A and B are shown apart, each in its own frame.
Chain A
Amino acid sequence: QSALTQPASVSGSPGQSITISCTGTNSDVGGYNYVSWYQQHPGKAPKLLIYDVSNRPSGVSSRFSGSKSGNTASLIISGLQAEDEADYHCCSYTSSATLVFGGGTKLTVL
């Protein structure tokens, strides 16, 4: 199972919106509505941000949202804040009854 494809890095200024893409195949992202996104600050454990493509767990800011079109899922962060600077990982359930992650995207807040 190949890793999902994410951009290595994205950047934005405070207050702006950014989008991180996550591209897979019909056997993972495109085949199921089980895409999740995780935020990871340096030296810390990942934290669940979005599940089932577009749902937010309790306590996660509404500035974070998710969507999917075909084989590509997207994480949108609006009103960028300095504390959003972190690595972001997408993940999908697969037809092989496994999970597959993307390579991770480093977000820099300028």
Chain B
Amino acid sequence: QVQLEESGGGVVQPGGSLRLSCAASGFNLTNYGIHWVRQAPGRGLEWVTFIRYDGTNRYYAESVKGRFTISRDTSKNTVYLQMNSLRAEDTAVYYCGKGPRITIFGVRIDNWGQGTLVTVSS
């Protein structure tokens, strides 16, 4: 069955960097786009970024553009989120999620991982 497992979260100082991983199983990344969505403590969901099923297009929220980069390794069926210049307001649980099959943009999130906590604090 479809599974997504995030890892790489932790505590980082403001201005620091962190790389999150999203390991996918039960489906092939070459057919599905992947989203990252975050949720600050006690807050709602915030969409962060999306990589298309063919890896050719990546989309970002304005709040992370220029600081975060989404990428993937199809040989490992894994998607990454490189986060640089981290700020206190980036503190959140980060979820990866699978979009629908072979679409230009994933207009929904069919399956979600359990999330990984990122805390930006000195």
A residues in contact (CB < 8 Å) with B: 1, 3, 32, 34, 36, 38, 44-48, 51-52, 57, 89, 91, 93, 97-104
Contact = CB atoms under 8 A, between A and B. Distances in A.
Contacts of A38: 45, 109
Contacts of A44: 114
B54 to A, nearest CB: 15
Contacts of A34: 107-108
A30 B114 CA distance: 31
B109 A46 contact: yes
Contacts, number: 65
Interface residues of B, number: 23
Nearest to B106: A99
A101 B36 CA distance: 13
B44 A48 contact: no
Interface of B: 35, 37, 43-47, 50, 59-62, 95, 105, 107-115
Given A38-B45, A99-B47, A101-B44, A57 B110 contact: yes
Nearest to B6: A45
B45 A93 contact: no
Nearest to B35: A99
A2 to B, nearest CB: 11
A58 to B, nearest CB: 11
17 contacts: A32-B107, A36-B109, A38-B109, A45-B112, A46-B109, A47-B112, A48-B109, A51-B108, A51-B110, A52-B107, A57-B110, A91-B108, A97-B59, A97-B105, A98-B47, A98-B60, A99-B47
Contacts of A91: 45, 47, 108-109
Nearest to A3: B44
